[in-house]
Chains A and B, each alone.
Chain A
Amino acid sequence: MPSLGADMETGTLIEWRVAPGDSVRRGDIVALVDTDKAEIEVEIFCDGVIEALLVEPGRKVPVGTLLARLREPAAEPAQPAVPLANVAVAAPVAESLAPPPRSAPPRPPPPSTPPQPLDPTRPGVRASPLARRLAADLGIDLATLTGTGDGGAIIREDVERAAGGRTPAPGATPTPLIASPISSPPTGGSDRSAGMRRAIAAAMSRSKREIPHYYLATRVDLTAALHWLGAENARRPVTERMLPAALLLRAVALALREAPELNGHWIDGEFRPSEAIHIGVAIALRQGGLIAPALHDVDRKPLPQLMDELRDLVARARAGSLRSSELSDATITLTNLGELGVETVFGVIYPPQVAIVGFGRVREEPWAAQGMLGVRPVVGLTLAADHRASDGHRGARFLAAIDRQLQSPETL
């Protein structure tokens, strides 16, 4: 079960889109999973042939549970299987908070202990909290261990034995985790909004607990941008007209190229910048709650395509059919509460991201420039950023870059 968000702890397999024996290619949709937030399509990250499906539709399993086994193209059927979706079995919670490592190859199981597919009737690995913590500290996959504790539970000794005497660095402290333990209250489809509330609560609490936010705000004159957009839209069929949101997305994406400290993730005590710029777009759902799926490679897509993808993304988010990569890939988030009349929005960073950009409403305001007072359309622009990864100076330059981009809309 892939982690489809920092706050996801379990998922219910709705249906398989593949059967044993099917060939699949990287990017194919192989299953549909229900999380607390939405029904999400699970895509696969490598080519191969489905060898076995290990979880039946309708079952709710913890993140990290092995869903299926995949045979790589060249491999013979008898060779060791690769876990689907690059997700380690029963990843410790701390790991599950991180986005799946898309580019890293799947970690091969230690040759001496081939992984045992979990008994599908077992909800997860039995391991003591201490064993889980030690395994996470030592980078040991619990699924590779045999427990000797009560009822076969994996206990400290088992982890230490597997580590060959390796012990965690002195003074190592447990990573503060999301408040709710793994066995969070069950959530059925009927109380998804409650589940989503809990998920948001967990992620936002963690954010405020762990991330030292700093906040910057400025106001941006949108005269040039809106003038250009109006002229552009006048030449386009009504169905293809573009919204200011697409312009703002592009401006943020291009400005981010100059501010790599704001684009990426804070994982295991260090900032990991991202080459790609995937902007999470905060979308309020009609039934309540919030989701922030990613628009991929915003800096590399022309405006019309971006507009199309944005429309599609919002529609699918509200229909509950997002893709897994869209839920886990964002490298920064953009939120816009302008429609609701909000002047300025100071966001809460969605971990493990390190920044969130906020736009308020566009409003006509008296605006002084070059000694003259005029009336201009103005928008409030804010940044909340992780002070561990960047400083206010860098944040300020980033906001200035967004402003600069918006003053030259023709280059967007």
Chain B
Amino acid sequence: MRGVLLRQLVGFLVLLVLWQAAGRAGWLNPLYMPTPLAIARALIQLFGEGTIWPHLEATFGAAMLGLALGVLVGTVLGIAAALIPILSEFLAPFMLLLNAVPRVVLAPLFVIWFGIGLGSKVALAFILVAVVIFFTVYTGIQQVDRKLVERIITLGGGRRALLTEVYLPSVLAWILGNLKVAVGFAFTGAVVGEFVAATRGLGYLLSFAQSTYNAALMLAIVLLIVGFVLLLFTLTGWLERRLLAWRG
């Protein structure tokens, strides 16, 4: 495992060195493809001058709020639809329809509805996450192990015991299993929302870099987003290992 990681690291470093060398040799147009050092300088400038913090705060705030609301609402609706058939008749096709359309197209509509502030970004992150979590929970509960349900019943457990001992732990496992996807969606929602219309955030910075043809800044921001999402993936993985220790 360590050997693989080391080889991957060396490979990545070689790629960076070749990229830098190609840039210095004049083989790459810096307008389109800045060198790794130019990108690093843009990153250092963002942090050094402190201009990045309000943007990070805006994007993180929107993504995390959208993630939390999306997980909460998606879970509640998923449980309700799985346990109340009449609700499922309405909710399942609606969610299926929502899942079929690329939900980022809703971004301009959300700007009209919720303005260019935090609300429209949270709404987009929320809708992206909620649909994923809804289907995770809805299909998960329908596929819950019948043997466990019968075990609880034969041991004298009622509806409450079924919920706390079988359904909720199963739901938690499915949600945590899909949390990485949800985190990715939450950031996509926040950044795309900011890209469409905003005054702050990494998406807004991306839009600004695009309009000023600043490829180094653009790549620096992309790198930043990738870095933060990877950090959140690591945290999610840690949470999964801790809460799902029984899975090994």
Answer yes or no: are A and B bound together in one complex.
no
